[in-house]
Amino acid sequence: MNDQTNTWITAAAVGLINCHSCGLLHKATPVHSYCHRCGASLHLRKPDSLSRTWAYLLAAYILYIPANVLPIMTTTSLGSVQSNTILSGVNYLLVSGSWLVALIIFIASIFVPVLKLMILSYLAISVQVRSSWHPRERARLYRLAEIMGRWSMVDIYVVTLMVALVKIQGLADIDADIGTAAFGAVVVLTMLAAMSFDPRLVWDNAERNNE
């Protein structure tokens, strides 16, 4: 593990600051400064990274409950009105034979958000307790969380497409419900949490514990 943390020189160790926006390196100064190229504010690490990450994560955990309990869409067909949550919608699609769509919605709506919340929570806790355990693997987990964020809105797109297709065909009337808004908020909050988390904190703790 030591080989992962003490074989290179970091920008911070030689008094340099990396611009978070454009990547340009600057000399660290005792006063607050701005990037010479893009004008962004310069920080050695993202300010209040852990606090903001936890705030977004807690809000996402809270909203994840209504996102799964409240209906995401209401279907009206031949005078019959039916509201579906994410899970009941997945079950309905399975029963009706659309197992591929059901699988996509289950992975995008249940599996991916929970996995992303768990990964970001684990990373935040490990930094909070100053863990030096396997920093390279934790860095990979962070990259995985970032990649998953790009696909988190798949089920929102599916619901939107279903609403549009059904309305065009005139077979039934489908309306997106309040659960969709809650789930969309969860997705946005987890993306903000991933953006707020500074993965360099993982290496800071590893280097500090190996000094």
pLDDT digits (tens, 9 = 90+) for 114-154: 999 999 999 999 999 888 788 889 989 999 888 877 666 66
Whether residue 179 has pLDDT greater than 90 = no
Give yes or no: residues 177 and 76 share one domain: yes
Give yes or no: residues 26 and 58 share one domain: no
Is the model more confident about 15 or about 122? 122
Cα separation, 91 vs 134, in Å, equals: 40
- For residue 184, what pLDDT is reported? 85
Give yes or no: residues 91 and 175 share one domain: yes
**How many C-alpha atoms does 72 have within 13 Å on its Cβ side?**
27
Give yes or no: residues 38 and 54 share one domain: no
- For residue 210, what pLDDT is reported? 64
Give yes or no: residues 61 and 30 share one domain: no
Is the model more confident about 95 or about 119? 119
Give yes or no: residues 19 and 106 share one domain: no
User: Which domain does 179 fall in, by range?
Assistant: 48-209
- pTM value? 0.77
- For residue 50, what pLDDT is reported? 92
Number of domains in the chain: 2
Stretch 69-94: mean pLDDT, rounded? 79
Give yes or no: residues 80 and 31 share one domain: no
- For residue 8, what pLDDT is reported? 67
**Minimum mean pLDDT among 4-8, 71-75, 83-87: which range?**
4-8
Q: State the distance between the two ends of the chain, measured CA to CA, in whole angstroms.
A: 13
- Reported in sequence order, the residue ranges of 78-176 that DSSP labels E, i.e. its strands, are 80-84, 173-176
Average pLDDT, the chain: 81
- For residue 1, what pLDDT is reported? 45
Our CA dihedral for 165, 168, 172, 174, rounded to 10 degrees, sits at 60
Give yes or no: residues 56 and 32 share one domain: no
Helix/strand/coil for 45: coil
Give yes or no: residues 22 and 57 share one domain: no
Give yes or no: residues 128 and 160 share one domain: yes
Give yes or no: residues 71 and 175 share one domain: yes
Give yes or no: residues 2 and 52 share one domain: no
- For residue 162, what pLDDT is reported? 63
- For residue 52, what pLDDT is reported? 94
